[in-house]
A and B are shown apart, each in its own frame.
Chain A
């Protein structure tokens, strides 16, 4: 089955700096790559996603890039704010099943 690896497991940045989280996947049939943000005590919330026919997608301060050849995708958060502090998960999907990374705990230091 699919194997998704996520790095780093923890990340601390100063407020206003950028944060980058990287994921790799193993199954070339994966065609949908969502990113989730999970705040303490809450369920994961979809923040951005990208499909395999697109190389990059941006939504305000958040962007995702996908390199199908290398089988990796990344989340970029610019101008980080304290409210961006949370655990972020990547996932890869071939259709109806989702495979998740182990999460990155992001701390934005004011």
Chain B
């Protein structure tokens, strides 16, 4: 079975803090994604990566950056957390052609 793991299930941070969300997949997938999920808005793509050290902006990249130094690991960074970044963050990975697999999610609260 494909396994996508995220470093934390729940996280509480203060406004202005730098936040790191880690995602690891064990299936040698080329593509990795970060989404945020908000009620009524569905899943919105923040960033994705086709390969190591490659990254592409999604629909809502503002306030976020990413890092992919190894194929299995994709990190999402909130440079200076704000309250409007309180959300559920979902990591996913896929091969090409795509069958996307999600991690369990990190519920981030910024106070």
Q: A residues bordering B, Cβ < 8 Å?
A: 1, 6, 32, 34, 36, 41-46, 49, 51, 89, 91, 93, 95-98, 100-103
Q: B residues bordering A, Cβ < 8 Å?
A: 4, 31, 33, 40-45, 48, 50, 58-59, 90, 92, 94, 96-105
User: Which of A32, A34, A44, A103 meets B90, CB within 8 Å?
Assistant: A44
- Interchain residue pairs with CB less than 8 A apart (5): A43-B4, A46-B100, A91-B100, A97-B45, A102-B40
User: Which of B43, B59, B98, B101 meets A96, CB within 8 Å?
Assistant: B98
A34 with B99, Cβ < 8 A, contacts A102-B41, A103-B42 known: yes
Q: Please, how many angstroms separate the alpha-carbon atoms of A101 and B44 in the complex?
A: 10
Chain A min CB distance to B111 (Å): 21
Q: Please, how many angstroms separate the alpha-carbon atoms of A1 and B102 in the complex?
A: 23
Instruction: List the B side residues contacting A100 at CB < 8 Å.
Output: 42-44
Instruction: List the B side residues contacting A103 at CB < 8 Å.
Output: 42
Task: Contact check, B104 vs A89: say whether CB atoms are below 8 A apart.
Answer: no
Instruction: List the A side residues contacting B41 at CB < 8 Å.
Output: 102
Chain A min CB distance to B56 (Å): 8
Instruction: List the A side residues contacting B42 at CB < 8 Å.
Output: 6, 89, 100-103
Task: Contact check, B100 vs A98: say whether CB atoms are below 8 A apart.
Answer: yes
Q: Please, how many angstroms separate the alpha-carbon atoms of A107 and B40 in the complex?
A: 17
Instruction: List the B side residues contacting A41 at CB < 8 Å.
Output: 104-105
Q: Please, how many angstroms separate the alpha-carbon atoms of A23 and B48 in the complex?
A: 24
